[in-house]
Amino acid sequence: MKNKKTFFTTAIASLILLLTSSCDVVDKFDTIDLNIPMSIDIITIGTETTLTESDTFCLTEFDLYNDNKDKMEEISFVEASYRTTAVSPANLSGNISVELKTEAGLPLFSITIPNDTPAALLNNPIKLALTADQINALNSYVSNLSNQCFEATVSISNMPGGEKTVTGVVDILFKSKIEM
């Protein structure tokens, strides 16, 4: 009789524990984190010792953002990198600067990679080390979900004269909390 009572008490306690904790388990699936990668191609061509090229892009150009923008609770910066996809001449060297601005032209970050060879970055990205202030500025900008557009600029300076072409890619990764 005592075994039946202990079994019954244990079964009831387990059932109550399962029912009350299962709500917490279900609540954990109300939102998910979604990575939103973006790649912006920038081609610099010319004969000058400094080449600069910019491209404007918007989050709405990326399908993953568009598919989930109505369910986003928040969005934040994760990381940025720069890589080269083509360079001519192959032995070209110089200072590579990557800058990101708001659509209105306010700077979000500017990073310089000194004395680098673009060929060394061929499909070998270098992570752009942003300061805490730069990350905060970027997060503040994207936290207003109506701020969707940016201007990315790549400058390559301190190069020898002559014809040269550098095709680079600025990769930016955002993380978004999506409501299920």
Return all residues near 96 (Cβ < 8 A) that are at least 6 apart: 82, 112, 113, 116, 118, 121, 154, 155, 156, 168
How confident is the model over 97-154, as pLDDT tens digits?
A: 999 999 999 999 999 999 999 999 998 999 999 999 999 999 999 988 777 899 999 9
pLDDT-derived band at 30 (thresholds 50, 70, 90) equals confident
Tell me which DSSP letter residue 44 carries.
E
Determine, yes or no, domain membership for 14.
Answer: no
Determine, yes or no, domain membership for 123.
Answer: yes
Determine, yes or no, domain membership for 68.
Answer: yes
Confidence (pTM): 0.80
Can you read off the two tokens belonging to residue 155? 């400058």
Determine, yes or no, domain membership for 167.
Answer: yes
Tally of structural domains, the chain: 1
Tell me which DSSP letter residue 71 carries.
G
Pairwise pLDDT comparison (24 vs 52), residue with the higher score: 52
Asked if the peptide bond before residue 107 counts as cis, ω within 30 degrees of 0, the response is no
- Give the C-alpha separation, 18 to 131, whole Å: 46
**Domain coverage including residue 116:** 31-179
